[in-house]
Amino acid sequence: MILKKNFNLSLDKFIHLSLYNKKNGYYMKKNPFGKKGDFITAPNISRLFSEMIAIWIVSFWQSLGSPKKFNLIEIGAGNGEMMKVLIESFKNFPNFLDSCNLIIHEISPSLVKIQKRKFLNDEIVWVSQINKIKNYPCIFVANEFFDSCPIKQFKKNKNSWYEKFVNLEKKKKPFFYEKKINIKKIEKKINFKISQNQNFIEYSDLGFKYLKDISKIIKRNKGGLLLIDYGYRGKKMQNTLQAISNHKFASILEDIGNVDITHNINFNLFKEYINKMGGLKINLTTQRNFLIKMGIKQRADIISQNQSFLKKADMFYRLKRLIDKKQMGNLFKVMLIKNEKNKFKLGF
């Protein structure tokens, strides 16, 4: 991937180029999900995951007073597997389904095609901008979305801050370098003192924009955001930048456009950023705790009663991947952002 003019890109611009370039971007030209892809998300591991999310969504809708019209928006629906199971589950709740505007926000044309093939007979609207949706109460769901937002990185050396850049002048030998910057200008732009008590900063401008826009919609129209992603809670930010290819770690600067570049969410940072906006309340737990409280084990027991030994073993193996402390159970967190007056805390 060669640039015609500027060969020096800030890290987030380089990641955006690698993932979302219209012609060569990783997410724009292929389906990265599943065994044949580069990684497997929770909805593709077991439909039990999506069933628990469906029950949670219906319960949250009830906490809003069961509005006659509301929007359910999945942010970054991947191969559409979660939305498919959600719709199947919602058919058991006809009043809910009749009230629901099903919406997918997806920026990858190739993934939109995959999603549309999966939902030929379902009434779903695809939107490129979440600000354009109708002013009804909104329930947002984002599973492994925010980790795909391009990040910036800054490092403090003595009393100066340096931003990470990538030089792409020589196609076969790209390299990282650092550039001195004024951190106060960055903080003014995002209206947030991100450098306070930090020696290293990792955050996404795009991720912050989504949080800000969604929070405004929630405050204006009622509703909430259920955010599920891998990450950590520490107050000190860490360097979590990584590339994935064929289910293994890969080099960020090699095979540009053919590897997924990702990072771990700092949930403490998200919490501080949202709290600064005011009017919202946050609940946070691990994926393990959330799914167990939602009854995933009991659901597995019910389904497995009439299954063969092999099917039963496969289902509980998949369940273990979702909730085991050493697998996805503790690494993945579940965050709920809602209006501060809403006392709903199912799963938390």
Give the position of tokens 């497997």.
Answer: 40
**What per-residue confidence (pLDDT) applies to 1?**
47
Give the position of tokens 């997924």.
Answer: 260
The string of pLDDT tens digits covering residues 121-131 is: 778 999 989 98
Confidence of residue 232 (pLDDT cuts 50, 70, 90): very high
**What per-residue confidence (pLDDT) applies to 2?**
47
Confidence of residue 172 (pLDDT cuts 50, 70, 90): confident
Can you read off the two tokens belonging to residue 49?
């995951």
| CA atoms in the 13 A half-sphere facing the CB of 308 | 2
CA distance 103 to 52: 19
Can you read off the two tokens belonging to residue 155?
């490092």
What's the mean pLDDT when you consider all of the chain? 91
CA distance 46 to 316: 10
Confidence of residue 21 (pLDDT cuts 50, 70, 90): confident
**Residue 9, strand partner residues:** 166
CA distance 284 to 37: 30
Can you read off the two tokens belonging to residue 291?
């799914």
Q: List phi, psi (to 5°) of 180.
A: -65, 135
Q: State pTM to two decimals.
A: 0.92
**What per-residue confidence (pLDDT) applies to 287?**
97
According to CATH, the superfamily of the domain at 16-148+205-235+264-339 is Vaccinia Virus protein VP39 (3.40.50.150)
Residue 3 has pLDDT above 60, yes or no: no
Share of the chain above pLDDT 70, in %: 95
User: Which residues, 6 or more positions from 197, have their beta carbon under 8 angstroms from its beta carbon?
Assistant: 235, 236
Q: What is the dihedral of CA 146, 147, 151, 153, to 10 degrees?
A: 130
Judged on CB neighbours under 10 Å (0-12, 13-18, 19+), 321 is middle
Residues 172-184: what's their mean pLDDT?
A: 92
Judged on CB neighbours under 10 Å (0-12, 13-18, 19+), 119 is middle
**What per-residue confidence (pLDDT) applies to 31?**
60
The string of pLDDT tens digits covering residues 78-117 is: 889 999 999 999 999 999 999 999 999 998 888 888 899 8
Lowest mean pLDDT among 1-10, 164-173, 309-318, 325-334: 1-10
The string of pLDDT tens digits covering residues 37-63 is: 445 788 888 999 999 999 999 999 999
Closest CA to 75 of 107, 105, 33: 105
Q: How far is CA 310 from CA 179, 268, 290, 319, 323, in A?
A: 56, 41, 27, 14, 20
Share of the chain above pLDDT 90, in %: 70
**What per-residue confidence (pLDDT) applies to 306?**
84
DSSP state of 181: E
CA distance 333 to 329: 8
- Report the greatest alpha carbon distance in the chain: 66
The string of pLDDT tens digits covering residues 301-332 is: 998 888 888 988 998 899 999 999 999 999 99
**What per-residue confidence (pLDDT) applies to 29?**
65
DSSP state of 99: H
Dihedral (CA of 331, 19, 240, 173) sign:
positive
CA distance 95 to 110: 33
CA distance 83 to 119: 9
Q: How far is CA 246 from CA 38, 39, 41, in A?
A: 4, 7, 13
